[in-house]
A and B are shown apart, each in its own frame.
Chain A
Amino acid sequence: AQSVTQLDSQVPVFEEAPVELRCNYSSSVSVYLFWYVQYPNQGLQLLLKYLSGSTLVKGINGFEAEFNKSQTSFHLRKPSVHISDTAEYFCAVSQAGTALIFGKGTTLSVSS
């Protein structure tokens, strides 16, 4: 069965600093990978996704992620964060015909 591990439950960072949110998945077959963001009292919004092709994926709000098949990782990065990036971030995996499996989430707290 697929699973997703988000290695950090909380990541505090100062404004304008770079950030990396780590995600590892377990699957021996081709997968689709997603990062979603959830702001307080809201639903989830897609940041980016990897289906195939280039391993570097660019998303909205300046985020990007790199798919690393050998390390089964899909880490999310942003070179310079803003206060408004404070939110909970979820990594998710799926395969053809299956539902999304989410990680437990990482709370990103950006302070000035």
Chain B
Amino acid sequence: KAGVTQTPRYLIKTRGQQVTLSCSPISGHRSVSWYQQTPGQGLQFLFEYFSETQRNKGNFPGRFSGRQFSNSRSEMNVSTLELGDSALYLCASSLGTGTGGQETQYFGPGTRLLVL
């Protein structure tokens, strides 16, 4: 079974631009979560989508948004990029049974975003 895939793997943008990252979950997984990883703040939860609905949200500004499609693929968008948005963005998928929390999340390799 194919793992979680993320595209693109690397991205360079300039301040003020916007960016869209894509995540394809493992086949049959209905929940997709996004995380931001930086050296200073570590791994921080952005949001989780289940059946096209946002189920959980982290403490990030409204510039960060996401969505999930009917095939469970997910995208996240960051508008008006700032230098501090430079990070590795990780997507994780899980089956989505129950209310979450206890499920194993399977991570993709991430998209490394550099904002200049």
Question: Could you list which residues of chain A lie within 8 angstroms of chain B, going by C-beta atoms?
Answer: 32, 34, 36, 41-46, 49, 51, 90, 94-105
What 4 A-B pairs are tightest by C-beta distance, nearest first? A43-B107, A102-B43, A97-B99, A99-B45
Contact of B104 with A by CB under 8 A = yes
Query: Can you list 14 A-B contacts (CB < 8 A)?
Result: A43-B4, A43-B110, A44-B92, A44-B105, A90-B43, A97-B101, A98-B56, A99-B33, A99-B48, A99-B100, A100-B33, A100-B105, A102-B35, A102-B43
Produce 1/0 per residue, B44-59, CB < 8 A to A: 1100100000001010
| A95: B residues at CB distance < 8 A | 101
| A42: B residues at CB distance < 8 A | 109
How far is A95 from B110 in the complex, measured between Cα atoms in Å? Answer: 25
State which of A41, A43, A99 has its C-beta within 8 Å of the C-beta of B108.
Answer: A43
How far is A1 from B4 in the complex, measured between Cα atoms in Å? Answer: 29
Measured CB to CB, the nearest residue on chain B to A104 is: B42
Q: Decide: A43 near B101, CB < 8 A? Known: A90-B43, A99-B56, A104-B42.
A: no
